[in-house]
Homo-oligomer: A and B are copies of this chain.
């Protein structure tokens, strides 16, 4: 049997934490995986050196995950085509805006029998439809074996080996077993389910709920109210999945990608925090993004806007009152108090 050759595409905070896990696991399962794991790293300067060279020397990504060592079988590669050459397992873990470009470059260089798993956060929601990144990868690279991983997984805590769980959604049981071996550890418990659509939907829609929870926190509404918003949000996530993707299952929302990730996102998390500041200070979201996120865009408000446009095109905004109220508060100056009054 030919061994699987793993390539990780991406090396930010989460990509680095995942690199640590994958590096350890291929050594544990040498019968299945090639020892060397190549990781595509977007080349940048780090204190006068090339980042890939620092990573390969120090076995650490000092820019995005300082203080955490990788196993020595992880090899940082700055060239995408070289990194993914002959790979049979691709782990996509990069910001969603780069997925298309990366796939475009790799087109024709990857075997159609290769397997891919998407750890990309978010969805592409346009008025005409919702695109899952796992499906986008499959389409661009003409692959059929695709899966998605999502869960209550703050990267820094995972890197410190704090116990957590994660969910892999995967149509094929065989692929699911392979991905399980690639990701599961003593401290990172993986559950494999078939509903990959639900896994990816949860990862995007939870951020809208976190904005709602942050507004409630900013208004000082207390924990009963916040729990109600989280619960109603979970119900709208489920309804969205079941209305627009018949295959989404109830049980998915009991998985780590569902209720657990939602709880984490609504307790800590940048979406909750910026929304809380929005409610307290009254400053516009873009100003807060500059102050609090170094100008990075907040996921939850963008997703709320995309979901609003998607629902509007179908005259269904009234069926998702929490999603819609978050949108109206952020983009249409609806009063903050409508977060409870209108849901």
A positions within 8 Å CB-CB of B: 152-154, 157-158, 160, 162-165, 187, 189, 221-228, 230-232, 234-235, 238, 250-251, 253-256, 259-261, 263-264, 267-268, 340
A153 to B231, CA, bound (A): 13
Neighbouring B residues of A187 by C-beta, 8 Å: 340
Neighbouring B residues of A158 by C-beta, 8 Å: 224
Chain A contact residues, majority secondary structure: helix
Neighbouring B residues of A235 by C-beta, 8 Å: 254
27 A-B Cβ contacts within 8 A? A152-B223, A152-B224, A154-B222, A154-B223, A157-B225, A158-B224, A162-B221, A162-B225, A163-B340, A164-B225, A164-B228, A165-B228, A187-B340, A189-B228, A223-B268, A224-B264, A227-B256, A227-B264, A228-B256, A228-B260, A230-B259, A231-B254, A231-B256, A231-B259, A231-B260, A253-B254, A263-B263
Kindly provide the distance from the CB of A105 to the nearest chain B CB, expressed in whole angstroms: 33
Cross-chain contact B267 with A163 (CB below 8 angstroms) = no
Q: Which of A163, A235, A255, A267 has the most CB of B within 10 A?
A: A163
Q: Given A234-B254, A267-B267, check contact A157 B223 (CB 8 Å).
A: yes
Q: Which of A152, A154, A162 has the most CB of B within 10 A?
A: A162
A189 to B221, CA, bound (A): 15
A263 to B251, CA, bound (A): 18
Q: Given A230-B263, A231-B259, A263-B230, check contact A224 B340 (CB 8 Å).
A: no
Kindly provide the distance from the CB of A234 to the nearest chain B CB, expressed in whole angstroms: 7
Neighbouring B residues of A160 by C-beta, 8 Å: 222
Chain B: CB-nearest residue to A231: B260
Neighbouring B residues of A259 by C-beta, 8 Å: 230-231, 234, 259
A184 to B158, CA, bound (A): 43
Cross-chain contact B164 with A227 (CB below 8 angstroms) = yes
